Amino acid sequence: MAVIYATRDGTPWEPKYLDSIDAELCIGCGRCFKVCTQGVLKLMGIDDEGEFCDPFDDDVEVERKVMVVDKSGACIGCSSCETVCGTNAQKHSAAA
Res 1: pLDDT: 57
Give the angle subtended at the CA of 33 by the CAs of 46 and 36, to the nearest 5°: 145
What domains can you pick out in the chain, each with its CATH number? 19-94 (3.30.70.20)
Model pLDDT for residues 43-92, shown as the tens digit of each residue: 999 999 989 999 998 888 999 999 999 999 999 999 999 999 999 999 99
pTM of structure: 0.83
Res 3: pLDDT: 77
Banded model confidence at residue 34, pLDDT cuts 50, 70, 90: very high
Residue 11, pLDDT > 80, answer yes
- 93: nearest Cα among 41, 82, 85: 82
Res 58: pLDDT: 87
Res 94: pLDDT: 83
Burial zone of 44 (CB within 10 Å; 0-12 exposed, 13-18 middle, 19+ buried): buried
